[in-house]
């Protein structure tokens, strides 16, 4: 376990040896679910990287405090900065999926400087309109026992059940996440890949996000927001971009 800036303990999974790649998973998920289970981390290891995969605060094997003081604004970006400093990462790449992408972008805005950046499962509106997105998930948490098939929140609730999410901790975490103004994205000056499923518009337009960033390309893989992380194409795209 790794003590973050405020002492909250974060689980960090490491695999392989070589150039470090810090991989940040999505909301209600975990390092195991996003990066290990479907082989993406192993593909990076086989390409000569070290995959460093934290379970985000309130997720996976990391601590899930129920005290609102443990969730100050931008707490996840602050956790990333603490991990980078604590592990002595000076020459590394940063990859996020969904909430992990939002966290990666916020971390860079606050001064974390990876060599290359990957924002997957993310569009412009998912950054600039995050408050609306967070409200959707908070509503799903609040109506957890009432949501039935056909409800817009059904998939989110089903995934929370699968992942045995601590809903109290997740609700507090969601309240700590704020919007990212489009002008703030000018800080993302490193080469960036915006990677998204061809049927994934959960977080808005990935092509518009790539267009607004200083040095970005859009890469499309098969899948929806939920299924794209199961596609081998995701790991292949990460390897191709990070080995250039």
Interatomic CA distance for residues 172 and 133, integer angstroms:
15
Using alpha carbons, list the distances in angstroms from residue 83 to 86, 89, 130, 186: 5, 8, 24, 24
Residue 160 lies in a domain: no
For residue 19, what is the enclosing H or E element? strand 19-24
| Calpha distance 191→63 (Å, rounded) | 33
Regarding beta strands 12-15 and 117-120, do their DSSP bridges make them parallel or antiparallel, or are they unpaired? unpaired
- Residue 20 belongs to domain spanning: 2-128+181-242
Percent helix, strand and coil across the chain, each to the nearest 5: 40, 15, 40
Question: Which CATH number is 56's domain given?
Answer: 3.40.50.1820
CB 8, CB 70: distance < 8 Å: yes
The pTM of the whole model exceeds 0.75: yes
Would 148 be classed as within a structural domain?
no
**Tens place of pLDDT per residue across the chain (244 aa):** 999 999 999 999 999 999 999 999 999 999 999 999 999 999 999 999 999 999 999 999 999 999 999 999 999 999 999 999 999 999 999 999 999 999 999 999 999 999 999 999 999 988 988 888 888 999 999 999 998 999 998 999 999 999 999 999 999 999 998 789 889 999 999 999 999 999 999 899 999 999 999 999 999 999 999 899 999 999 999 999 999 9
Q: Establish if 151 belongs to a structural domain.
A: no
Structural domains in the chain (count): 1
């Amino acid at each position: 376990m790794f003590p973050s800036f405020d002492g909250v303990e974060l689980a960090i999974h490491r695999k392989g040896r070589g150039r470090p790649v810090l991989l940040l998973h999505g909301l209600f998920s975990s390092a195991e679910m996003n990066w290990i289970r479907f082989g993406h981390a192993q593909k990076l290891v086989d390409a000569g990287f070290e995959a460093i995969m934290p379970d985000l605060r309130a997720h996976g094997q990391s601590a899930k405090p129920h005290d609102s003081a443990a969730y100050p604004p931008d707490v996840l970006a602050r956790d990333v900065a603490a991990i980078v400093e604590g592990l002595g990462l000076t020459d590394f790449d940063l990859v996020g999926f969904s909430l992990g992408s939002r966290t990666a972008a916020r971390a860079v805005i606050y001064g974390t400087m990876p060599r290359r950046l990957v924002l997957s499962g993310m569009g412009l509106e998912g950054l600039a309109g995050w408050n609306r997105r967070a409200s959707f998930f908070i509503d799903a948490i609040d109506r957890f026992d009432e949501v039935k098939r056909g409800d817009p929140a059904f998939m989110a609730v089903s995934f929370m059940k699968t992942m045995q999410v601590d809903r109290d901790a997740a609700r507090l975490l969601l309240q700590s996440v704020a919007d990212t103004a489009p002008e703030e994205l000018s800080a993302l000056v490193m080469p960036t890949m915006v990677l998204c499923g061809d049927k994934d518009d959960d977080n808005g337009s990935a092509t518009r996000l790539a267009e607004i960033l200083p040095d970005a390309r859009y890469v499309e893989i098969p899948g929806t927001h939920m299924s794209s992380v199961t596609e081998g194409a995701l790991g292949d795209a990460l390897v191709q971009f990070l080995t250039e």
